[in-house]
């Protein structure tokens, strides 16, 4: 990457981070040059800064988990406007823990569980809960395999949904730094993992719950078909007017 392709606001943020590391407002050139080299090598600015805001919580972010995206932040807004006082919440594919933390923030009385197949993500999510003084249970689990509770009022899943064939077209920032198993949704139009989750919910006979899924905008109808025995199934758009979320109730 060429320095000209780094926008000014990012250069300013790198300068501030360099000043923070050096502890000086004037003597930070070495630190700045190291950070700039990292950015020129396509490392995402959020990993360089180490922390980022997500809705109203502050998160530590690093290569252990995906950088939370604005679409997921908007999902929080949708949940906030639609869901009334859930008592138990499950966040499937928690990554950095961003959704779990925001659920605990919005519904402090609720019991929140976050699960992820990646032990590294679970480690980071746990650190983020501590950072925000929140009591959330994080469990390493392949979908619901290690989940013992018999029911939840609210299930949220932002699972990998990019078709495997499209992974290599992603930006170098993503390909070289973010965990690809957080993005790769498999061969079947990227809906394999979501489909497995819906099957497991069926097997475990959960009832009286609401579910929100973040999806690829092209495959909304496919996901809706998987939910044929649910009520109030709804495709919801993101801020870019793309079909990004599915809501359903049972
Ligand atoms: C798209 S990322 C979402 C991370 C976070 N929830 C967010 O919104 O930024 C998907 C997450 O699902 C996890 N994941 C992938 N397959 C899984 C599985 N079979 N069971 C549980 N988690 C899984 C990945 O490790 C990754 O952290």
* Tens-place pLDDT, residues 122-131: 999 999 999 9
Q: What is the pTM of this model?
A: 0.97
Residue 99 falls inside a structural domain: yes
Residue 46 falls inside a structural domain: no
pLDDT (0 to 100) of residue 18: 98
* Residue 219 DSSP symbol: G
Closest listed residue to residue 78, CA positions, set 200, 246, 249? 246
CA angle 179, 185, 187 (to 5 degrees): 130
**126 with 61, same domain?**
yes
Q: How many domains does the chain have?
A: 2
Residue nearest to atom 17 of ligand 1 (CA): 117
Q: Strands 51-54 and 57-60, how do they pair?
A: antiparallel
**222 with 169, same domain?**
yes
pLDDT (0 to 100) of residue 190: 86
Nearest atom (ligand 1) to Cα of 72: 8
For residue 89, what pLDDT band results from cuts at 50, 70 and 90?
Answer: very high
CATH of the domain at 110: 3.40.50.150
76 bridge partner residues: none
**13 with 97, same domain?**
no
pLDDT (0 to 100) of residue 189: 84
- pLDDT mean across residues, the chain: 97
Taken in order 134, 92, 208, 146, the sign of the CA dihedral is: negative
Residue 47 falls inside a structural domain: no
Residue 78 falls inside a structural domain: yes
Per the structure, the complete domain to which residue 24 belongs is given by 3-41
Taken in order 30, 33, 35, 41, the sign of the CA dihedral is: negative
* Tens-place pLDDT, residues 180-215: 999 999 988 889 999 999 999 999 999 999 999 999
Residue nearest to atom 16 of ligand 1 (CA): 117
pLDDT (0 to 100) of residue 73: 98
Cβ-proximal residues to 64 (8 Å cutoff; 6+ apart), any chain: 118, 120, 121, 123, 124, 179
pLDDT (0 to 100) of residue 95: 98
For residue 160, what pLDDT band results from cuts at 50, 70 and 90?
Answer: very high
Ligand 1 binding pocket (C-beta < 6 A) is 65-66, 68, 72, 93-96, 98-99, 115-118, 121, 142-143, 158-160, 181-182, 193
**71 with 128, same domain?**
yes
- Pull the structure tokens for residue 138: 């994080």
């Amino acid at each position: 990457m060429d320095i000209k392709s780094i926008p000014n606001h990012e250069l300013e943020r790198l300068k501030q981070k360099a000043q923070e590391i050096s502890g000086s407002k004037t003597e930070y050139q070495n630190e700045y040059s190291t950070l700039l080299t990292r950015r020129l090598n396509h490392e995402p600015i959020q990993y360089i800064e180490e922390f980022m805001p997500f809705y109203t919580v502050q998160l530590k972010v690093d290569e252990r988990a995906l950088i939370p995206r604005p679409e997921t932040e908007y999902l929080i807004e949708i949940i906030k406007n639609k869901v009334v006082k859930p008592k138990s919440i499950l966040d499937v594919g928690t990554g950095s823990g961003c959704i779990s933390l925001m659920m605990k923030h919005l519904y402090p009385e609720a019991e929140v569980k976050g699960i992820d197949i990646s032990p590294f993500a679970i480690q980071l999510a746990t650190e983020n809960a501590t950072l925000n003084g929140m009591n959330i249970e994080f469990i390493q689990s392949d979908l619901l395999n290690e989940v013992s509770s018999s029911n939840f009022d609210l299930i949220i899943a932002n699972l990998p949904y990019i078709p495997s064939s499209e992974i290599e077209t992603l930006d170098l920032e993503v390909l070289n730094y973010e965990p690809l198993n957080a993005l790769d949704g498999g061969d079947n139009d990227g809906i394999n993992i979501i489909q497995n989750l819906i099957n497991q919910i069926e097997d475990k006979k959960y009832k009286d719950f609401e579910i929100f899924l973040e999806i690829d905008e092209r495959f909304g109808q496919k996901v809706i078909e998987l939910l044929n025995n649910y009520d109030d199934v709804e495709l919801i758009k993101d801020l870019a007017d793309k079909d990004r979320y599915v809501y359903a109730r049972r």
